[in-house]
């Protein structure tokens, strides 16, 4: 009987050579009260790991080798991997940490690359999203003030369909994922960062701080400025903002973590006045004005969900196929973290148009003080097909209550 050789297995052995246990370190994860499926797991990097040395995990249950990715961007480095198989409520699992010479090139990576005026994130060859670095000109030359940078668009579903909009004719100032405040007070003057037509405020991309590519996630960190009275003698930056975005290597959905950190740019606070909308905003596909809808974690829609306080909101609708005339369906949910200000935050769901925002100012005025870091965290679950509330809730539970991780000798 001829010997059957697994070439991929041999390639893996060749690429991951000289496996070295890391002082017999064992990582234990515990699901706790929630089912964990297709989610990232993060833990501190043990001190025994040499700087910049790659390593993998080997599951003690299955002997499966799992790629990891180290983040050394802070004083407390972390390692992240994707949960390779479900871990249900009450279950635990252990891994051995093993140093390797390198991660196999055949492992599909999540790439983030700055080119053509944007930072583009791909899973292999498939696009996930883009962050716009360059100033995008207004489609109406008579109203050039609508030009904008510093927003995410497009967002793609796993089939490559675009799910967001940019410069929609009904609201030129709306762009995919954005974070402007509408009614504010800065230096005792009213400033509107939401509507550029008011010419009182605007938001600008300033810098790509870093991009990250890896076998577990790809992403970027960027800096934006919220500028009061742009292009006037009163121009002043009210807020400096930093976005940290990570897209993970997943199978059934795209999973993206978004963190905004806002700080006052001077000794003057920014007062966000009470209003029925403003803040972290999402604009869906243009054709979703007809046939599109929202679904919240409380089961509400655009008919009855406005100014409720859900854990998540899914925006979805039909996707026409230009080639055969058929229609599919896609959408994406945005999950608000329970540590966010006034969480669960009220949401403004527009009754007729495909946009909404997480709007803590609905509950009254608040202030971003000098030296305060105002942090907002959201997770995107980008899906094909109709929204699955149970699945989205499972991702929310993991986001709100991460897997417990411990390192044992």
- Provide the mean pLDDT of the chain: 92
What residues pair up with 354 in beta bridges, in sequence order? Answer: none
Higher pLDDT, 343 or 63: 343
C-alpha Rg value of the chain to the nearest Å: 23
What pLDDT shows up at residue 103? 65
What pLDDT shows up at residue 23? 52
Burial code of 21-57, b = ≥16 C-beta within 10 A, e = fewer?
A: ebeebbbebebbebbbebbbbebebbeebeeeebbbb
Strand intervals (E) in 229-269: 236-248, 254-264
Residues 98-141 pLDDT 10s: 888 776 667 889 999 999 999 999 999 999 999 999 999 999 99
Phi/psi of residue 47, nearest 5 degrees: -65, -20
What residues pair up with 377 in beta bridges, in sequence order? Answer: 259
358: pLDDT strictly greater than 60: yes
Tokens of 334: 């945005």
As a whole number of angstroms, the distance between CA 81 and CA 248 comes to 9
Characterise 158 by phi-psi region: left (phi > 0), alpha (psi -120 to 50), beta (else): alpha
Using CA atoms, how far residue 197 sits from 145, 234, 262, 276, in Å, is 7, 17, 24, 19
Tokens of 27: 């990582």
What residues pair up with 100 in beta bridges, in sequence order? Answer: none
158: pLDDT strictly greater than 90: yes
The pLDDT-based confidence of 390 (bands split at 50, 70, 90) is very high
What pLDDT shows up at residue 50? 78
Least confident residue range of 6-10, 154-158, 214-218, 293-297: 6-10
SS3 of 41-90: EEEECCCCCCCCCCEEEEECCCCCEEECEEECCCCCCEEEEECCCCECCC
Phi/psi of residue 232, nearest 5 degrees: -130, 175
Across the range 5-25, mean pLDDT stands at: 44
Residues 34-55 pLDDT 10s: 999 999 999 998 887 777 777 8
Sequence-distant (6+) residues with CB within 8 A of 232 are none
Superfamily of domain 7-106: Golgi alpha-mannosidase II (2.60.40.1180)
The pLDDT-based confidence of 325 (bands split at 50, 70, 90) is confident
As a whole number of angstroms, the distance between CA 183 and CA 195 comes to 10
Characterise 90 by phi-psi region: left (phi > 0), alpha (psi -120 to 50), beta (else): left
Any idea what DSSP says for residue 392? H
189: pLDDT strictly greater than 70: yes
166: pLDDT strictly greater than 50: yes
Domain boundaries, the chain: 7-106, 110-402
14: pLDDT strictly greater than 50: no
As a whole number of angstroms, the distance between CA 212 and CA 354 comes to 31
Give burial (CB, 10 Å; 0-12/13-18/19+) of 239: buried
Across the range 169-196, mean pLDDT stands at: 97
Residues 246-291 pLDDT 10s: 999 998 999 999 999 999 999 999 999 999 999 999 999 999 999 9
Sequence-distant (6+) residues with CB within 8 A of 285 are 162, 163, 164, 165, 292, 317, 319, 354
As a whole number of angstroms, the distance between CA 314 and CA 348 comes to 13
What pLDDT shows up at residue 372? 95
10: pLDDT strictly greater than 90: no
Across the range 17-31, mean pLDDT stands at: 71
Across the range 1-28, mean pLDDT stands at: 48
What pLDDT shows up at residue 17? 43
As a whole number of angstroms, the distance between CA 96 and CA 59 comes to 7
Give burial (CB, 10 Å; 0-12/13-18/19+) of 14: exposed
Q: How much of the chain exceeds pLDDT 90, in percent?
A: 81
Query: Which H helix or E strand runs over 154?
Result: strand 151-155
205: pLDDT strictly greater than 80: yes
Q: Are 110 and 158 in contact (CB under 8 A)?
A: no
Q: Are 83 and 62 in contact (CB under 8 A)?
A: no
As a whole number of angstroms, the distance between CA 66 and CA 82 comes to 8
The pLDDT-based confidence of 383 (bands split at 50, 70, 90) is very high
The CATH code of domain 110-402 reads 2.70.98
**Omega before 273 within 30 of 0, i.e. cis:** no
The pLDDT-based confidence of 75 (bands split at 50, 70, 90) is confident
Across the range 163-180, mean pLDDT stands at: 96
Question: Is the whole-model pTM more than 0.85?
Answer: yes
Tokens of 95: 């891994």
What pLDDT shows up at residue 62? 86
């Amino acid at each position: 009987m001829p010997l059957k050789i697994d070439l991929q297995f041999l390639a893996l052995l060749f690429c991951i050579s000289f496996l070295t246990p890391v002082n017999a370190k064992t990582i234990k994860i515990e699901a706790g009260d929630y089912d964990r499926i297709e989610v990232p797991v993060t833990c501190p990097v043990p001190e025994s790991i040499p700087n910049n040395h790659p390593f993998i995990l080997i599951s003690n249950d299955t002997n499966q080798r799992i790629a990891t990715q180290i983040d050394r961007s802070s004083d407390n480095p972390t390692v992240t991997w994707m949960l390779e198989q479900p871990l249900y409520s009450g279950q635990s699992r252990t891994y051995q940490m093993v140093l390797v010479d390198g991660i196999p090139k055949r492992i599909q990576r999540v790439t983030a690359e700055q080119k053509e005026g944007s930072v583009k994130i791909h899973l292999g060859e498939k696009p996930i999203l883009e962050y716009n670095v360059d100033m995008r000109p207004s489609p109406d030359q008579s109203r050039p003030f609508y030009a904008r940078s510093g927003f995410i668009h497009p967002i793609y579903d796993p089939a490559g369909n675009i799910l967001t909009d940019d410069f929609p004719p009904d609201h030129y100032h709306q762009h995919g994922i954005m974070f402007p405040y509408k009614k504010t007070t800065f230096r005792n003057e009213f400033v509107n960062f939401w509507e550029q037509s008011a010419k009182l405020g605007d938001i600008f991309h300033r810098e790509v701080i870093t991009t990250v590519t890896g076998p577990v996630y790809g992403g970027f960190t960027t800096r934006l400025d919220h500028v009061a009275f742009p292009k006037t003698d009163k121009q002043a930056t009210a807020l400096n903002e930093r976005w940290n975005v990570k897209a993970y290597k997943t199978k059934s959905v795209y999973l993206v973590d978004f963190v905004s950190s806002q700080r006052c740019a001077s000794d003057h606070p920014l007062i966000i006045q009470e209003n029925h909308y403003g803040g972290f905003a999402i604009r869906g596909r243009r054709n979703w004005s007809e046939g599109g809808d929202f679904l919240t974690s409380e089961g509400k829609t655009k008919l009855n969900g406005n100014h409720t306080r859900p854990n998540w909101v899914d925006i979805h609708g039909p996707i026409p196929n230009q080639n055969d005339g058929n229609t599919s369906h896609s959408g994406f949910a945005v999950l608000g973290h329970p540590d966010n200000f006034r969480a669960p935050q009220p949401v403004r769901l527009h009754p007729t148009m495909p946009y909404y925002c997480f709007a803590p100012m609905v509950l009254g005025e608040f202030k971003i003080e000098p030296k305060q870091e105002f942090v907002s965290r959201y997770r995107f679950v980008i899906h094909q097909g109709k929204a699955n509330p149970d699945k989205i809730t499972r991702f929310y539970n993991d986001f709100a209550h991460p897997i417990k991780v411990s390192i044992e000798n």
